[in-house]
């Protein structure tokens, strides 16, 4: 493990089935509800996946490869700025582990191989807690959070 790489581990317990959670990650029309993006791929090992903004522009904000998939228990993908997609060395890695825990599922998201202090590392460390809270809220209460919310946003000022 070289010193300039960093790892984040995020855990949340969700009252839902493994399948529901797995679908919420891999089916774009569901992810759009709580993530504002769909994760688009044929989900075969070696295939490309794209994190596509759910609006008219359909901008691809993240891209990577499917490294490992074992529905509904485990998904490993690589993660990169779309402009850096061809440079596999620069990809970081995201692992989703879904383990039944009492009447819930323990979802662990491990984001590693990240360049310490990079814009991506800073961005994801703000992003994942928000996305996972939103996923939990969406699956348990059908009320997702606004993942683009900004504490200072004056939505009422318009």
Partner 1 sequence: MDDDKTFKALGDPTRRKILDLLCEKNGQTLGQLCAHMDMKRQSVTQHIGLLEDANLVSTVKRGREKLHFLNPVPLQTIYERWIRKFEQQRLSLLHELKTELEGDQDEQ
Positive or negative, the CA dihedral 77, 79, 83, 84 is negative
Torsional sign, CA 24, 60, 127, 44: positive
Shortest distance (Å) from residue 37 CB to partner 1:
18
CB atoms < 10 A from the CB of 51, how many?
21
Angle at the Cα of 31 from the Cα atoms of 37 and 63, rounded to 5 degrees:
45
Please select the residue that binds partner 1; options are 4, 13, 58, 61, rule is CB under 8 A: 13
**Is 136 a residue that touches partner 1 (CB under 8 A)?**
yes
Mask of contacts with partner 1, 39-78, x by CB under 8 A?
----------------------------------------
Among 17, 18, 118, 133, contact with partner 1 (rule: CB under 8 A): 133
Q: Near partner 1 by CB under 8 A, which window of 40-48, 59-67, 82-90, 126-134?
A: 126-134
118 binds partner 1 per the rule CB under 8 A = no
Residue 105 pairs with which residues in a beta bridge? 14, 100
């Amino acid at each position: 493990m070289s010193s300039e790489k960093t790892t984040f581990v995020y855990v949340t317990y969700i009252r839902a089935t493994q399948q529901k959670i797995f679908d919420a990650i891999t089916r774009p029309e569901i992810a759009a509800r709580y993530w504002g993006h769909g994760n688009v791929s044929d989900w075969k090992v070696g295939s490309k996946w794209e994190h596509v903004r759910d609006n008219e522009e359909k901008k691809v904000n993240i891209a990577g490869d499917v490294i490992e998939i074992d529905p509904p228990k485990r998904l490993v993908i690589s993660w990169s700025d779309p402009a850096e997609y061809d440079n596999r060395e620069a990809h970081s890695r995201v692992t989703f582990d879904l383990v039944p825990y009492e009447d819930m599922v323990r979802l662990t998201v491990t984001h590693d191989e990240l360049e310490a202090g990079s814009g991506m590392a800073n961005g994801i460390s703000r992003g994942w807690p928000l996305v996972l809270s939103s996923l939990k809220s969406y699956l348990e209460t059908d009320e997702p959070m606004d993942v683009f919310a900004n504490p200072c946003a004056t939505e009422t000022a318009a």
